């Protein structure tokens, strides 16, 4: 049994979800004018907290949102919220919005950002899902066009990913893989994409326009540590469809094999040998944080 607790800067307190209310004039609610990070804890501490906080700052800088809290204060809010749950481990989300303002777009009119931390019991897909893998669909929805919003910014506006997921589900898949406007593979709806071909591990280059996933970074380091060849490069949908192994990475799911892509079986239809080796290495890395 676990609990969900919420820290709200407007109260400077950790409260139950029912008491965690936010103004309808908060720009995070009105416009997705916010940035956020999702983490999981190991031994009660958010995994790669420093890298997540660094990305939170990069995202905030990218939308001109000044975060008024020190990293120590942010880390403290994370720790307080997790501690209040009593959970062994939590799924933790940290959100910073531009705050409350008048009902107008002008971002200069809201001066006090809102900080929200949500901690809830960590529920991972079961072991069978990791060996069976999931089905993904390369969807027609692309990452944003024309530089409207840098995909490297983890903003509160996830409509692109939501629409992509709707398309993938409509096509019978469980997850979506999005392309760039020029037709290269970018990333999953809430994950990064890797594939293996002839023993070489590849992932789209950040230049393609995608979120620099923290797990992507860690997995790249593990690929090198295992003595495997890593390539970050332009990836076309046909390369992904011809791969021996495909997997997605994210902070909460870790390494999730994709064993059906666009309705066709990847490899032999279960997690491939390099995915299994990397997953074991990733589990060892998580265990080393205890």
Selection from 244, 289, 237, 235 nearest residue 266 by Cα: 244
Query: How far apart are CB 211 and ligand PLP at their closest, in Å?
Result: 4
251 binds ligand PLP (CB under 6 A): yes
Partners of residue 38 on adjacent β-strands: 93
* C-alpha to C-alpha distance for 226 and 244, rounded to whole angstroms: 18
* C-alpha to C-alpha distance for 56 and 35, rounded to whole angstroms: 7
Q: Which is nearer to ligand PLP, 87 or 249 (CB)?
A: 249
DSSP state of 11: T
Q: Which stretch binds ligand PLP (CB under 6 A): 56-64, 123-131, 231-239, 248-256?
A: 248-256
Q: Which is nearer to ligand PLP, 97 or 190 (CB)?
A: 190
Q: Take residue 203 and report the two structure tokens written for it.
A: 């992932």
* Burial class for 10, CB neighbours closer than 10 Å (0-12, 13-18, 19+): middle
Q: Which is nearer to ligand PLP, 38 or 203 (CB)?
A: 38
Query: How far apart are CB 186 and ligand PLP at their closest, in Å?
Result: 9
Query: How far apart are CB 154 and ligand PLP at their closest, in Å?
Result: 6
Number of residues counted as binding ligand PLP (CB under 6 A) = 14
155 binds ligand PLP (CB under 6 A): no
Query: How far apart are CB 101 and ligand PLP at their closest, in Å?
Result: 26
CA 269 from centre of chain: 25
* C-alpha to C-alpha distance for 290 and 281, rounded to whole angstroms: 15
Segment 177-236, which members bind ligand PLP (CB under 6 A)?
187, 190-192, 211, 213-216
249 binds ligand PLP (CB under 6 A): yes
Q: Which is nearer to ligand PLP, 44 or 160 (CB)?
A: 160
- Convert residues 36-75 into a mask of x (bound to ligand PLP by CB under 6 A) and - (unbound): --x-------------------------------------
141 binds ligand PLP (CB under 6 A): no
34 binds ligand PLP (CB under 6 A): no
260 binds ligand PLP (CB under 6 A): no
Tell me the C-alpha to C-alpha distance, in Å, between residue 158 and each of 190, 209, 250, 287. 9, 15, 16, 31
Render the burial of 44-83: b for 16+ CB within 10 Å, e for the rest.
ebbbbbebbbebbbebbeebebebeeeeeebbebbbebbe
250 binds ligand PLP (CB under 6 A): yes
SS3 182: coil
Strand bridging mode 90-97 / 114-121: antiparallel
Q: Which is nearer to ligand PLP, 251 or 259 (CB)?
A: 251
Q: Which is nearer to ligand PLP, 159 or 242 (CB)?
A: 159
What count of residues does the chain have? 290
Q: Which is nearer to ligand PLP, 14 or 53 (CB)?
A: 53
Q: Which residues bind ligand PLP (CB under 6 A)?
A: 38, 161, 187, 190-192, 211, 213-216, 249-251
């Amino acid at each position: 049994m676990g609990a969900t607790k919420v820290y709200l800067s407007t109260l400077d307190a950790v409260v139950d979800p029912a008491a965690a209310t936010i103004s309808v004039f908060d720009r995070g609610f009105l416009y997705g004018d916010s940035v956020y990070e999702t983490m999981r804890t190991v031994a009660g501490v958010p995994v790669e907290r420093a890298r997540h906080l660094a990305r939170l700052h990069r995202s905030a800088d990218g939308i001109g949102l000044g975060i008024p809290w020190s990293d120590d204060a942010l880390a403290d809010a994370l720790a307080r919220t997790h501690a209040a749950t009593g959970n062994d481990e939590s799924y933790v989300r940290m959100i910073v919005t531009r705050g409350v303002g008048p009902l107008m777009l002008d971002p200069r009119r809201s001066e006090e950002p809102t900080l929200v931390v949500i901690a809830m019991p960590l529920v991972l897909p079961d072991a069978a899902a990791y060996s069976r893998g999931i089905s993904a669909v390369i969807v027609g929805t692309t990452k944003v066009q024309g530089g409207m919003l840098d995909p490297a910014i983890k903003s509160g506006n996830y409509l692109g990913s939501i629409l992509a997921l709707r398309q993938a589900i409509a096509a019978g898949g469980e997850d979506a893989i999005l392309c760039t406007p020029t037709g290269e593979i970018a990333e999953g709806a809430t994950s990064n994409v890797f594939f293996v071909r002839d023993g070489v591990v590849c992932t789209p280059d950040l230049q393609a326009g995608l979120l620099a996933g923290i797990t992507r970074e860690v997995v790249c380091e593990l690929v090198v540590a295992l003595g495997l060849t890593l390539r970050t490069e332009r990836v076309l949908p046909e390369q992904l469809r011809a791969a021996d192994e495909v997997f997605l990475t994210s902070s909460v799911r870790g390494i999730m094999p994709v064993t059906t892509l666009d309705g066709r079986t990847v490899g032999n239809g279960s997690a491939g040998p390099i995915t299994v080796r990397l997953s074991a290495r990733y589990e060892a890395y998580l265990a080393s944080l205890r």
